[in-house]
């Protein structure tokens, strides 16, 4: 079964509004969660992962600055959280899956993060997906001889 045929035309129109995804792992296409970022993002990720319980989410929403201070966020990290600067948060060492807990808590979601990362409106991004690319491991690679 091959799905994704339905709605092909609107997808293509929306895709035109965004450049095609590049086939490399460089920024800004990819913001890798490197081991260095994992170290740098300790406070950010501890804070975000604390939001995995309803009580913590309520506490955070009741007093954002106070809650962030308790987790030892720097002024710059607190600013990124306050501005919901998802791209800045990932660059500062926030893991996407941790930042998603923050998004859920403040009534946003994965599309909000994606739109910020891709530099477009949320609706544009939703309409553009799936953003189709093509390519399989090269014939010269080991799998090519299969």
Q: How far is the CB of 63 from other proteins (least distance, A)?
A: 19
Contact by Cβ (8 Å): 37, 93:
yes
CA neighbours closer than 13 Å in the CB half-sphere of residue 61: 14
Give the nearer residue to other proteins in terms of CB position, either 34 or 74. 34
Give the nearer residue to other proteins in terms of CB position, either 64 or 104. 104
Closest CA to 86 of 61, 120, 56: 120
Q: DSSP character for 120?
A: S
Cα separation, 146 vs 139, whole angstroms: 9
Give the nearer residue to other proteins in terms of CB position, either 75 or 139. 139
Give the nearer residue to other proteins in terms of CB position, either 46 or 69. 46
Q: How far is the CB of 57 from other proteins (least distance, A)?
A: 8
Q: How far is the CB of 67 from other proteins (least distance, A)?
A: 15
Q: How far is the CB of 79 from other proteins (least distance, A)?
A: 20
Cα separation, 68 vs 81, whole angstroms: 9
Binding site for other proteins (CB under 8 A): 1-4, 6-7, 21-25, 27-35, 38, 41-42, 45-46, 49, 51-54, 57, 90, 95-98, 100-105, 110, 113-114, 117-119, 125-126, 128-137, 141-143, 145-146
Cα separation, 117 vs 79, whole angstroms: 17
């Amino acid at each position: 079964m091959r799905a994704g045929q339905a709605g092909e035309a609107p997808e293509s129109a929306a895709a035109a509004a965004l450049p095609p995804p590049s086939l490399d792992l460089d920024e800004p296409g990819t913001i890798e969660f490197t081991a260095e970022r994992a170290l740098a993002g300790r406070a950010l990720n501890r804070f975000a992962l604390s939001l995995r319980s309803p009580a913590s989410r309520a506490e955070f929403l009741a007093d954002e600055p106070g809650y962030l201070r308790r987790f030892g966020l720097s002024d710059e990290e607190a600013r990124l959280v306050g501005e919901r600067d998802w791209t800045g948060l990932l660059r500062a060492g926030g893991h996407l899956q941790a930042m998603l807990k923050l998004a859920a808590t403040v009534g946003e979601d994965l599309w909000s993060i994606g739109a910020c990362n891709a530099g477009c409106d949320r609706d544009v991004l939703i309409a553009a997906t799936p953003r189709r690319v093509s390519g399989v491991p090269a014939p010269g690679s080991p799998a090519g001889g299969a």
